[in-house]
Every structure is written in C-alpha cells, then in structure tokens.
Amino acid sequence: MLDLEVVPERSLGNEQWEFILGMPFYQTVNILKRQDRVIKGVQVWYSNAQPLQMDLVVSLSQDGIKLIFDPVCQRLKIIEVFSMNKVKLKYCGVHFNSPQVQPTIEQIDQSFGATHPGGQFCITESENDIHFSRPVYNSEKQLFVLNFRGLSFDFPIESKFEPRYAHGLGSLQFPNGSSPVVARMCIYSGNSLSDTRAPPLPITCFHGNCFVDCVEVLRDHNSTRGLKFILVTEGNGSSKLLDTRKKTVDRIVRFSDSCQDVISALGCPSKVFYKSEDKMKIHSPDAHRRVKSRCSDYFYNYFTMGVDILFDANTHVVKKFILHTNYPGHYNFNMYYRCEFKIPVHIDKPELEAGLSEEEPLIITAYSKWDKIQKYLLKPEQRPVILTRSSSTNTNNPFGSTLCYGVHDMIFETMQNHHIASITLYQPSTATTPTHDIPVS
C-alpha cells in the first residue's frame, strides 16, 4: 500500500517521487515506469474522437488514484484519490487516512483545522496558511463537499440528515453514533475544483531542460527559411535554489545551419538518432552510383521541445525540421512534448473568396484540423501517401495508419480523427522526392 504525503494545491508523493500539479504527462509516465514494481494496474483514458475536449486521465486502479491532465497543455490539473482504503495519506507527517486511522470529519478537523460556528474553517500554521470554506451539500449525489484552498473532501451523507446540519459538518449526529467518512479527496490549484486549471510548469519539473512556449515558422513567399524558438528556461542566477525565476529567450535556427550552430542556439539534444536506411534513395538521380561513404543522415531529437532536426551526413547542416503535436492515439504519443507551432501560409487568390484575407495568411497550429484547412492547401486531384509504422518488437501498429500530404515545402501527417500528428519542413532543392522521415525507432 502506498504511503503518500498530501500538500494542498501542490502535490501528492513520498521521498522517492512526487506527482506535482502542472507536471507534464511525459514526466508522470516516467515516474510510473520507474515505480512499476510498486505501482501496478495503470490505465490511460482519452478520447480518440475529441482529444482536445476530454481530459487525459491516468488511473492507478490498484491504488485508488486518478491523475487528470488538461487535454490542451497536457499538464497535471487534478490529483484525485477515489478509493481511500487503498492508500495511506498523511499531512505534515501525520496520517489522517490509513488502515488504523479512519478519515472521519473529526480526523480531518484534527489534521487540517477546527470547525467554527456557521461552518467556517481557518488555520494559520507557520508559513503555510490553509483557508477553509463552508461545506456544500450536493443533493443529487448526496454528498457534503468540504472545500479547502487547493484541497477538497467528499462525505457521502443521506439527504435525511441534511436538515440537521447547522453548525458545521461535525455537528451532524447519526443514529448509531458514527461520523461521516471521506469517500474522495482532490488536490487542485485555486479555490474551486470546478474552475481549476492546470498551473504553469513548476520550476521543479524543468530538470535543466528547455521547454517551448512557441515555435514560429519563418516563411517567405510560402517557402520555409527556418524556425524561431521562444524558449522557457530556469533562471541562470548564481544559485538556482535562490533564483527560481523562469527566463524566456528567443533563438532562431535556419536551413543550412551547422550542428554547432544548432547546439549553440538550443543546447544539446535529448538524443541523436542515425538513420539506418532510406527507402526513398531509389528516387534519387544518383541512386545508380555506388557511394563508398557509410555515413548516414542523423537527427537531433529535442523531446521537450517537440522538434526533430535532420542533418546531412556529408555537409552536417540542417536539411529538415519535424514538428510533433503529441496527440494520444498516435504511434509516437508521449515520446515528445507538444510543439506549439505557428505556420503562416499565404493562399492563392482563387481561394481568398472562401473568406480569407490576402493581408491575413492562414495560420496553422498544433490544434488545426486537417479537414478544415485542406481545402485551402490542396488541389482536388492530390492524393495522400499512407504511412504504416511497425517495429521489431511490435509488428502491428495498434493505432492504425496515418496519411501524409505534401503542400509547398511541407508534409502534413494526419490522423484518422483529422488532427495533425506532425509536420515536416524541408527545402525542395534538397530532394527530388520529399519523404516523411521517422526519426526514432
């Protein structure tokens, strides 16, 4: 049984690991992978049809915990303990829920604060102030909800006891002398569970990495020149423990930049991947020539930025960019963070009659749906290429094939729900037949 510390409006965890509000989905899954001997029965719930409307949920069924993520930013929004008897919980080092300690209203009062007339609660202890509000009765669910700042408890109580509620939840009297017991606990940010949002990425989750606030694709006459990265990093003071402020910096990477230029701008990549084969080399005009060089093109994988950068094996300069959207239901889901990109595309005059202004280009983002924008980009006779992934360990792709469409100097990889999985940006002069590279195995 897990023994976890509750920190209102912040986290749930122990000395070895911690689920922190605002933590990215990727980091949460990594914790679960490392703790696979202790935490079992992990399930991931998402909506394949509406991945941006329905929350992304990780359910720890054997431990009675749900981790609820915002579907857009994919950061932890709510930590819910839905089965109190499957986990031990403590606050400030003292258990308020365990096999020996029932989480009754008296126990909650003792651990978190005192009940006052009128159902008002307050406590001030050292530098941590916890403010309580009047419990609210939900007649439909027959629940009393005790709301703290960043913390709430649900007490199931039959409606026949509601009229007796007068001076706080602790004043309720039951025929057998029992006391209300917590059925569910939620940790969240702010004053209201219903209005809570995922907080910004905590500084404790940076771990020395850079994260992307936005990637602006630099284009001239519908031709890509490079990428402008707006990066968020840790404060660079003399001591990071003292200077916890976040810092925003701008960096530009262009085609034909060297690998040294890229590292100077973005830092070292998360991984370097060498292409083992290129099945489209047969289309190259020099395919009939035997090349003695065994060099392979290689990728710099920037997982926390959602970007891959492909370098030429001979010249060692940038030849392609790949931007990832990290939608659940895609083969590469949870390999990259979502890249928040913006791609301006100027539409030809015949298409302007559809409602677009010549002064305002079409802006393609990670949230654009292909069925909405393809009418501005494709001609009716254009057909997609079917991309089917497989690996040595899993020959069948459980998520199905994706479709790739070539537009200008871009390749759009689209999913069955019409969301864009990735966009490859290349220079038309660098290849006779553009291909959609798969940068990691």
Compute the distance between CA of residue 124 and CA of residue 117 in angstroms, rounded to an integer: 18
Q: What is the mean pLDDT of each run of 10 residues along the chain (441 residues)?
A: 96 96 96 94 95 96 97 97 96 95 89 54 41 63 84 81 52 65 95 92 91 96 94 71 74 97 96 74 50 76 97 95 96 95 83 56 95 87 83 66 93 96 87 55 45
Contacts of 350 (CB under 8 A, 6+ apart): none
Closest CA to 116 of 169, 172, 182: 169
pLDDT score at 121 = 39
CB atoms within 10 A of CB 25: 24
Domain ranges of the chain: 2-187, 206-430
Residue with tokens 């941006």: 52
Secondary structure, 3-state, the chain: CEEEEEECCCEEECCCCEEECCCEHHHHHHHHHHCCCCCCCEEEECCCCCCCCCCEEEEECCCCEEEEECCCCCEEEEEEECCHHHEEEEECCEEEECCCCCCEHHHHHHHHCEECHHHCEEEEECCEEEEECCCEEECCCCEEEEEECCEEEEEECCHHHHHHCCCCHHHCCCCCCCCCECCEEEECCCCCCCCCCCCCCCHHHCCCCCEEEEEEEEECCCCEEEEEEEEEEECCCCCCCCCCCEEEEEEEEECCCEHHHHHHHHCCCCEEEECCCCHHHHHCCCCCCCCCCCCCCEEEEEHHHCEEEEECCCCCEEEEEEEECCCCCCCCCCCCCCCCEEEEECCCHHHHCCCCCCCCCEEEECCCEHHHHHHHHCCCCCCCEEECCCCCCCCCCCCCCEEEEEECCEEEEECCCCEEEEEEEECHHHCCCCCCCCCCC
- Report the length, in residues, of the chain: 441
pLDDT score at 391 = 58
Closest CA to 255 of 440, 441, 438, 424: 424
pLDDT score at 359 = 60
pLDDT score at 115 = 42
For residues 94-121, b (16+ Cβ closer than 10 Å) or e, as one string? ebbbbeeebbbbebbbebbbebeeebeb
- From residue 99, give the alpha-carbon distance in Å to each of 1, 83, 95, 178: 10, 13, 10, 17
Find the radius of gyration of the CA atoms of the chain.
27
- From residue 113, give the alpha-carbon distance in Å to each of 8, 187, 371: 13, 17, 54
| Assigned token pair, 64 | 């009675």
pLDDT score at 97 = 96
pLDDT score at 358 = 56
